[in-house]
Amino acid sequence: MMSKKERLFGLDLLKILATFTVLSVHFFLNTQFYNTNATGFSITIQVIIRNLCMICIPLFVMLSGYLNNKKDYNKKFFIELLEIIVIWLFYSIIEFITTSIMNNNLSTFNIKTMLYKISIFTACRYSWYIEMFIGLYMMTPILNRAYDSFDDKSKKIVTFLALLLTIGFSFLNGVFSNIIHFPLYWGNLYFIAYYLAGKNIAYFKPDYKKLNLIILLIINTIACVFYARGGLLEYYSLFIFTEALFLFLIIYNITTQNKYLKKLSCFFANISLDIYLASSLVDIFIYKYLYEFTGNPNQQKVIVYFPIVIILSFTLSTIYAIIRKTIIRLRK
């Protein structure tokens, strides 16, 4: 963790951006998007929005690579892991109890069932990220020591190879379909590439011209739209990687002298994990009442509620997060 004195405004902005985009991705998860045929202008726009918002988890993992680049096995390391687990357990227990009441399952409610649901990371619906992150966090000192042992040129080569093995080969298979096949065995470890990308930025501190990066981001976005052609891109897509990378490089070293902006961004950045987990239960209520109060609109029409829903989810999840911080006081 960076000290308060060293805190970078740009990194806080990235956490907030990642939070809003993950709530946006969940909009499509909680509506009928995945059960609707990808035809018509409205659905095409929704596909584009959904694909562009898939930078959410990549940004979070790249931030981990940047912020945890000096992590090693010590007392502080395990205390911080424990704090993350406590936060996750809080939201998992509350959501399990609440949904049991909502679904009239109290007659079958028992601690054994709750513990099992928690252990398989389903008591809180969005817990898959925690399941992934716990493993990544435990590996962080190993990745750091391995990376730090290389010279500067080899650091870049290692990062490139991680990208090639986990993300690049998938892209090449799409380009050279039915011509040649590249091995995809390591594809599920795409988060390693994102972690090393963040660590690479922390080490080399690149400072490219913002205008050039913005132009590259626009070109990448246009290419992403045409490449996807109505298809859905995942976190291991090369276009998602480059979009996240360009955004990270544009924003991470932004500074401000406005102390109010600093305090506000710091506050929301510090509860970004809380907002992510809190939104799991909040979204159950939001999307339930969204369809009830709007006359059960089809997917072509429900998109008009997108900005309202995201702002509402963010606001209510923030309130829920403040309640957690009041009940359970941790350093995070």
The SS3 call for residue 106 is helix
280-325 per-position pLDDT tens digit: 999 999 999 999 988 888 999 999 999 999 999 999 999 999 999 9
* Predicted local distance difference test score (pLDDT) of residue 229: 80
At residue 212, the pLDDT reads 97
- Tell me if 133 is assigned to some domain: yes
Asked if residue 4 belongs to a domain, the reply is no
125 DSSP assignment = T
pLDDT at 109 over 90: no
Query: 1 lies in a domain?
Result: no
In whole angstroms, give the CA distance from residue 66 to residue 208: 17
Domain count within the chain: 1
- pLDDT greater than 80 at residue 38: no
- Tally the C-alpha atoms within 13 A of residue 134's C-alpha that lie toward its C-beta: 13
Range of the domain at 23: 9-327
332 part of a folded domain: no
Question: Per residue in 249-261, pLDDT tens?
Answer: 999 999 999 999 9
pLDDT of res. 331: 63
Q: Give the pair of three-digit tokens for residue 82.
A: 């424990």
- Domain membership flag for residue 229: yes
Residue type, 175: V
The more confidently predicted of residues 104 and 32 is 32
pLDDT at 189 over 50: yes
- CA contacts within 13 A on the Cβ side of 198: 26
Residues near 201 by Cβ (< 8 Å), separated by ≥ 6?
A: 62, 65, 66, 248, 249, 252
* N-term to C-term CA, the chain: 10
Assign 151 a pLDDT band (cuts: 50, 70, 90). Answer: very high
In a domain, residue 21? The reply is yes
| pLDDT reading at 161 higher than 50 | yes
Does residue 2 sit within a domain?
no
What six digits make up the tokens of 6?
């060293």
Count of CB atoms situated within 10 Å of the CB of 264: 13
- The two structure tokens encoding residue 128: 């898959």
Name the more confident of 276 and 296: 276
> What is the reported pTM?
0.94
Closest by Cα among 94, 73, 206 to 140: 73
pLDDT at residue 4, as a whole number: 44
Average pLDDT over all residues of the chain: 93
Q: In the chain, which residue ranges form alpha helices assigned H by DSSP? A: 9-30, 41-52, 56-67, 75-102, 111-119, 128-148, 152-163, 169-175, 190-204, 210-228, 238-251, 259-270, 272-293, 299-302, 306-327
